[in-house]
Amino acid sequence: MHSQFFYLLFNLVFLPNLVFAQEIALTFDDAPRSDGNLYTGLKRSEILLKKLEQYDVPQVAFFANSNKLDDVGELRLKMYGQAGHIIANHTHSHPHIHEVGVEAFIEDIKKADQILQELPGFRKWFRFPFLNEGRDEDSRDRIREALSKMGYINAYVTVDNYDWYLESMFQQALKEHKKINYELLKELYIQHIWESIQFYHKIGLKALNRPPKHVLLLHENDLAALYLDDLISFLRGEGWSIISPEEAYSDPIVDHLPDVLMNNQGRVAAIAREQGIEKRNLVQMSEDEQYLEDYFSKKKVFR
Ligand SMILES: [Zn+2]
């Protein structure tokens, strides 16, 4: 009787949390990105740090390209590391594997490793440029082996999106001195990321029979600096917790390297692909440049 009661109580209290856990870590690629048309790189870093502190997000990860480390670039990464955030490897020069070849690609990772390991907050985490892990099995496996030998984990994402394309449209509009509807831009930026989260969350629930600890891909750009606080508030309002990347990479899928050639969509999509889900069901409509151009023009975000 007692044990049944406690079993029931356990399920009532804990099961909903296990089934409905909605957790996501924030990660920013391509740091330190150069000056934008809205913010200088330094100003952007200061804003990001201030907002993370104000909104009580003690740890995010910045995936860095070490060829961007001029004096200011290095200072910015140090500011991130000293504030408790993680600095990790995104190669030295952001190459395409198929353009430079596997050997040169691995050398580029090693070069970044040597430069970045001097920085505070550095971890041996590797984020593939373009989320491209190799177009054939031989390349993929040689790079996986090299990373493993160097003591790296594959710092995958679970939620891909086109924030980088929204940023490029925004930068173009600034350059052309267009009138920008910032309220609408904020709404569409958050909507784009929110739809991406929901899309990959559904795939994750199906593929894993549980919610994964998510990793959101963002870029260290002006839009992130503009709207990070609104994004964090929005996600919390929807019942999501912002977790640290360390916590996210404690998910068992960190050890699950899917045996597929499924690039660009992240880890849960690759696991779903491995289970036989067709690729067209793993790509969302909004991860498309023309789609976003048309949508933004219809909405008249920039005039
Ligand atoms: Zn990148």
Q: What pLDDT is recorded for position 264?
A: 82
Count: domains in the chain? 1
Q: What are the respective helix, strand and coil percentages of the chain, to the nearest 5?
A: 55, 10, 30
Q: What pLDDT is recorded for position 266?
A: 94
Contact 45, 79 (CB under 8 A): yes
Kindly give the distance from the C-alpha atom of residue 34 to the centroid of ligand 1, in angstroms, as a whole number.
Answer: 13
Position 2 in a domain: no
CA distance 206 to 271: 10
Position 17 in a domain: no
Domain that includes residue 240, residue range: 23-299
Q: What pLDDT is recorded for position 262?
A: 82
pTM of the model: 0.93
56 conformational bin, left if phi > 0, alpha if psi -120 to 50, beta if neither: left
Question: What is the greatest pairwise CA distance in the chain?
Answer: 73
How many Å separate Cα 71 from the centre of its chain? 26
The CATH number of whichever domain residue 175 belongs to comes to: 3.20.20.370
Q: What is the pLDDT of residues 147-184, one digit of tens each?
A: 999 999 999 999 999 999 999 999 999 999 999 999 99
CA distance 214 to 219: 16
CA distance 271 to 186: 32
Position 9 in a domain: no
Task: Give the residues of the chain that fall short of pLDDT 50.
Answer: 1, 17
Contact 242, 236 (CB under 8 A): yes
Position 11 in a domain: no
Position 16 in a domain: no
Position 245 in a domain: yes
Kindly list the protein residues that place their beta carbon closer than 5 angstroms to ligand 1, a single-atom ion: 29-30, 129
CA angle 272, 132, 287 (to 5 degrees): 70
The 10 Å CB-count burial string (b at 16+, else e) for 48-74 is: bbebbeeeebebbbbbbbbebbeebbb
SS3 237: helix
Residue type, position 283, single letter: V
Of the chain, the end-to-end C-alpha distance in Å amounts to 69
Position 14 in a domain: no
Kindly give the distance from the C-alpha atom of residue 64 to the centroid of ligand 1, in angstroms, as a whole number.
Answer: 8
CA distance 214 to 211: 8
Q: What pLDDT is recorded for position 47?
A: 98
Q: What pLDDT is recorded for position 43?
A: 98
Kindly give the distance from the C-alpha atom of residue 105 to the centroid of ligand 1, in angstroms, as a whole number.
Answer: 14
Kindly give the distance from the C-alpha atom of residue 63 to the centroid of ligand 1, in angstroms, as a whole number.
Answer: 8
Q: What pLDDT is recorded for position 177?
A: 98
